[in-house]
Amino acid sequence: MKNLPKHKKVILFDGICNFCNDSVLTIIKHDTNNTFVFTSLQSDTGKEITHYLGVDTAEIDSIILYEPGVAYDIKSTAALKIMNDFGGLWKLTQVFFIFPEGFRNIVYDFIAKNRYKWFGKKETCMIPSEEIQDKFL
């Protein structure tokens, strides 16, 4: 597998989803510790990582948080762990861990299922601006 940056967490996201792209920009804004790098699920790197992890994106259409050499998380658990790394008031989102993962994922899946209808989608993946290009694999 391609050399991934050391000491970084990789976020794989749906590159054609407007909501997902806006979420990536929000994560970049709040990632003051420069913890995360990104790749779309549709990219060669994204496909390589999901293949390596054994994640079938036809079955799991979700955000993936991958910590190379450690573990990976999907859906609501990935989202909550990402927000936890922001610190500050974002830590309050961790209260949602009191709910069972299955319940949290019902809510996550409902939003994911409707994301194109509610927020639209692009024909191609987002091209990062020069200022944030180094955050993308």
Mean pLDDT of 33-53: 93
Q: Which residues pair with 129 in a beta bridge?
A: none
pLDDT tens profile 113-132: 888 889 888 776 667 777 78
Distance from C-alpha of 28 to C-alpha of 48, rounded to nearest angstrom: 23
Phi and psi dihedrals of 52, rounded to 5? -60, -40
Residue with tokens 């949602």: 96
In whole angstroms, give the CA distance from residue 46 to residue 64.
10
At residue 110, the pLDDT reads 93
One-letter amino acid identity for 54?
A: G
For residue 1, is pLDDT > 80?
no
pLDDT exceeds 90 at position 3: no
Q: What percent of the chain has pLDDT over 70?
A: 96
How large is the greatest C-alpha to C-alpha distance in the chain, in angstroms? 40
94-116: average pLDDT: 93
Structure tokens at 100: 């069972």
pLDDT (0 to 100) of residue 103 = 96
Q: Which residues pair with 20 in a beta bridge?
A: none
Q: Looking at 1-137, list the stretches that DSSP marks H as alpha helix, in order from N- to C-terminal side.
A: 18-30, 44-53, 75-84, 101-119
Return d(Cα 5, Cα 49) in angstroms, integer: 13
- Size of the chain, expressed as the number of residues it contains: 137
* Rounded CA separation 68/127 (Å): 24
Q: Using the predicted structure, report yes or no on whether residue 18 has a pLDDT greater than 70.
A: yes
